[in-house]
Structure 1
Amino acid sequence: MKATLRTVIFAGTLLTTTSAFAGEQTVTLEVSGMTCASCPYIVKQTLAAVDGVTDVEVSFAEKSAVVTYDDSKTEVAALTAATGDMGFPSTVKE
């Protein structure tokens, strides 16, 4: 019984620790190629379609996109690949 209880507690600790690393992240991307008023809409729709993305704000003036996403479902490379595939190469803004 004690061994079972220890196993359950240990497993619970592992699950809690693992989930602490996953979660909501926000990244700002520099987006190239936006030349007209409809470009930010296309970039926003493209990023919003990536699984795990929960919010997108695109600025034509700043040539940037602020993306909030669940890092257990997607990663920055998928975001930059999505914009690049649509003709809007992007990189992480430092």
Structure 2
Amino acid sequence: MKRTGIILAGAFALGLAVIYPGGYLPTAALAASATAQDEQTTVFDIENMTCALCPVTVKTAMEAVTGVEAVDVNFDKKNATVTFDPSVANVETIGIASTNAGYPAKARD
């Protein structure tokens, strides 16, 4: 019975996509395009990174902030490059997330 319900729901969703050409995919594509234009990238200097696991912890903490799109942590340079939506997140909140995880982060000017 469950399989029949799933098949019917899938067929219904596909039918809506055919009937309504402005369906979810174009809207999502437009939203992604708008987001890409509104992104901001900031480099943070990170303290206390001493082992190979430290960058993972910093990345996880920063990615947990709503609005953060990408985090690239460089262990050798002791920094993190963060791409985020400034209408949702800000530099201070991202730095605090890393600091609360034990790795104080300061945005470069």
TM class by shorter-chain length? Answer: 0.7 to 0.9
- State percent identity of aligned pairs: 38
The one of 55, 60, 65 equivalent to 1:50 is 65
1:89 matched to 2:93? no
Counterpart secondary structure, 1:34: coil
TM-score normalised by L of structure 2: 0.65
**Deviation beyond 3 Å, 4+ runs, structure 1:** none
Q: Measure the CA separation in 1 of the matches of 2:39 and 2:55.
A: 23
1:25 matched to 2:40? yes
Q: Measure the CA separation in 1 of the matches of 2:105 and 2:71.
A: 14
Segments of 5+ residues of structure 1 without an aligned counterpart are 1-18
Give the CA deviation at 1:93. 2.1
Higher-helix-fraction structure: 2
Aligned residue in 2 for 1:69? 84
Segments of 5+ residues of structure 2 without an aligned counterpart are 1-33
TM-score normalised by L of structure 1: 0.75
Higher-strand-fraction structure: 1
